[in-house]
Chains A and B, each alone.
Chain A
Amino acid sequence: MKRFESVYPLRPLFFRKLKNHLITLFSWSAVVIAVGAMVWILGTVLIDGLKVITPGFLLNPSKPYGIPDAGIGNAILGTLLITGGAALLAVPCGVAAGIYLAEFGSGTRLGNGLRFCANVLMGMPSILVGLLVYSLMVVPMGSFSGVAGSVALAVIMFPVIMRTTEDMLLMVPASLREAALALGMTRTRAILRIVCTSARNGLLTGILLSLSRVSGETAPLLFTAMFADSWPKDYFTGPTANIPMLITEYTTNSPFEEMHAAGWGAAFVVSAIILFINITTRICFRERHHGK
C-alpha cells in the first residue's frame, strides 16, 4: 500500500509490525504452556482419581495394605479438622493484626516492623514452620498431634490473612471512615461496623485463599500431624490422618499398585476441595465488584 506523504523522513513500518507480531506470539505461547500444564495436571488427577472414587472409598478409614474395604474417610475428616483448627487460630489473629496495620499502624515503627515480618514469614519454606512447631509443641508433648498440625498451618495462614486484611481495609475510601466518625461513632465502632462491613467480601476472599493455600500443604504436617490409619479422635493427643500425608505415604513409600491408585483418589479429593474454595472465592469477589 502506498504510504501517505510526510514532511519528515519515514521509518519503515516492517520492523515495528514484526515486533508487534513476535510479542503477541510470545504471550500466546506463554498462555498455552500455562493453561496446558494446568489442564494436564487436573486431567491426570481427574482420570486416575475418578477410577477409585466410590462411596466406600470416601467413607471408610484407611487401612494397612491387604485389608479389604480401605478408604480415605479418616484423612478427609482429619484434613477438615486440621485446616478448620488452623482457621480458628489464624483468622481472628490475622484479621485483628490486619486491622491494626491498616487503621493504626501506618507509618509507625511497630506497624512497619510487623509488615516486614509478615512478608518474611510469607516467603519462609513451609517445612521450616513444621520444624518450628515440632520443636515447640511435638517434642514437649511427647507425641505428634493434629492440633500441632493446625498450629503449623495457622502460622502459614496468619501473615497471608493479615496482609490481605490490611490491603482490603486500605481500599475503603477514607471518606467513609470520616463519615462514620463525623456521626459521632467511636473509632472501634467505625472500624468494625462500617469499614470492615464495607470490606467484608475482600476479607472473606483473603481468608478463603489462605485456606485453599494450606489445605494442600504437606511439609508442615510431616513433623506435626503425621498420619494414622484411624479416625481422627486423637486430634489433641496423637497422630492424625490427613490427605496430603496420605498422598505422600501412598505414592512414594509404598510398592503396591492399589496404594498408588488410592493416592490418586486422595489427590482428586484434595484438588476438588481446593477448587471448591477457589470458586467460592471468585463468587464472593464478583459480588464485591458488581453487587450493589
Chain B
Amino acid sequence: MANKISARNINFYYGSHQALFDNNLDIAEHAITAVIGPSGCGKSTHLRIYNRIYELYRDQRVTGSLFIDGVDVLNEKVDVLELRRKVGMIFQKPTPFPMSVFDNVAYPLRLHYRLSRSEIADKVEEALRGASLWEEVKDKLKSSGLALSGGQQQRLCIARAIAASPEVLLMDEPTSAIDPVATLKIEELMVELKKRFTIVIVTHNMQQAARISDFTAFFYKGRIVEFGDTEKIFTNPDEKQTEEYITGRFG
C-alpha cells in the first residue's frame, strides 16, 4: 500500500523541553493508523505536527521533515491554509461552532470553494450522510449545533471536516469524551471513512486501536518504540515495552 505521509527525523520542542525524539513514521493511504502510548508520551504532539496546528503557540517548534504526497509540508513555502484544507482534524472534545447545524457544515465549503447555494446544500447533506448524522438532524438543520448530544456533536465535527474534501483526517482521541454507544457509532463510521480518507487516530483506548486500525505505532517518552501491522503489535510485538503496555503492565 502506498504511503500518504512520511515523517522523517521529527524532533519537537515546547520551549526548551524536547517532547519528540527522532520520530520516523509512514502512514498508509486509505488505512487507519492508530497511535497509542501512555499519557504524556507525545502521541498528540506528533499528530499536531501533521496540520501544523502547533504554530498557534509561540514557544512550540519542530525540526525534521513531514512529506505528504512527497511534499515537505514543514517547509515555510507550503501555505498552511492549503495544508489544512487537505488535512482535516477532529479533537478530543467536540468543537461545534456557535451557529446552526447547517452553517457548521457549510462553513468550510463557503471558506474554500466558490459554490452556488444549491451546491452547498447538496454538499452539506452529503457530508452529514457521510458522518451518519443526516437522519438524526435533517429536521433540525437550522437549530444550533450546540444543542446536539455529545456524540452527535462529534459526528457534526466529522461532517464539517469531511465537507472541506480533505485527503487526510487526524483524530485526536475523538471518542474519549463520548459515551460507549456513540463511540461504537463513530468507530463504525471511521471504518467506512477510510475508503475515502487516510486516517490517523490517537487513542488511549487499546481495544479501540485493536478493533479499527490497520497499523499501530506505539509511542513512549517521545520516541516511536514500535510500528507495524495492528494484528502483530497486539499479538506478537517485537519490543518488551510494547508488550508490557498492551498487556496493561504499565501506562
Q: Which residues of A pack against B, CB within 8 Å? A: 107, 173, 175-186, 189, 194, 197-198, 200, 292
- Cα A60 to Cα B103 in complex, Å, equals 50
Chain B residues in 8 Å Cβ range of A173: 93, 95
Cross-chain pair count, CB within 8 angstroms: 62
B92 and A178 form a contact (CB under 8 A):
no
Closest to A176 in B: B95
Name the one of A107, A177, A194, A200 contacting B56, with C-beta atoms under 8 angstroms: A177
- Say yes or no: A182-B144 contact (C-beta < 8 A), given A175-B91, A198-B97: no
B31 contacts the other chain (CB 8 A): no
**Interface pairs A-B: 10 shortest CB-CB:** A179-B95, A182-B89, A184-B84, A198-B98, A184-B85, A292-B147, A175-B91, A184-B81, A183-B108, A197-B98
Closest to B58 in A: A107
B99 contacts the other chain (CB 8 A): yes
A175 and B89 form a contact (CB under 8 A):
no
Chain A residues in 8 Å Cβ range of B155: none
B112 to chain A, nearest CB (A): 6
Closest to A197 in B: B98
- Say yes or no: A178-B53 contact (C-beta < 8 A), given A183-B84, A197-B99, A198-B98: yes
A138 to chain B, nearest CB (A): 44
Q: Which residues of B pack against A, CB within 8 Å? A: 51, 53, 56, 58, 81-82, 84-85, 88-89, 91-93, 95, 97-99, 107-108, 111-112, 144, 146-147, 157, 160-161, 164
A179 and B89 form a contact (CB under 8 A):
yes
Which of A184, A185, A194, A197 neighbours the largest number of chain B CB atoms within 10 Å of its CB?
A184
Question: Can you name 13 A-B pairs with beta carbons within 8 Å?
Answer: A173-B95, A175-B92, A175-B95, A176-B97, A178-B53, A178-B56, A178-B91, A182-B91, A183-B108, A184-B82, A185-B111, A194-B97, A292-B144
B91 and A184 form a contact (CB under 8 A):
no
- Say yes or no: A179-B157 contact (C-beta < 8 A), given A184-B84, A198-B98: yes
Chain A residues in 8 Å Cβ range of B160: 183
Which of B81, B92, B98 neighbours the largest number of chain A CB atoms within 10 Å of its CB?
B98
A179 and B91 form a contact (CB under 8 A):
yes
A181 to chain B, nearest CB (A): 6
B75 to chain A, nearest CB (A): 18
- Cα A175 to Cα B91 in complex, Å, equals 7
Chain A residues in 8 Å Cβ range of B146: 292
Name the one of B82, B84, B147 contacting A182, with C-beta atoms under 8 angstroms: B84
A186 and B81 form a contact (CB under 8 A):
yes
- Say yes or no: A183-B56 contact (C-beta < 8 A), given A175-B91, A176-B95: no
Which of B88, B111, B112, B157 neighbours the largest number of chain A CB atoms within 10 Å of its CB?
B111
A183 and B107 form a contact (CB under 8 A):
yes
Name the one of A176, A180, A183 contacting B164, with C-beta atoms under 8 angstroms: A183
- Cα A129 to Cα B97 in complex, Å, equals 41
A105 to chain B, nearest CB (A): 11
- Cα A183 to Cα B146 in complex, Å, equals 18
Chain B residues in 8 Å Cβ range of A292: 144, 146-147
**Known contacts A175-B92, A181-B56; can you find 14 more A-B pairs with CB under 8 A?**
A107-B58, A173-B95, A175-B93, A178-B53, A179-B157, A180-B97, A181-B53, A182-B84, A183-B88, A183-B111, A184-B108, A185-B111, A292-B144, A292-B146
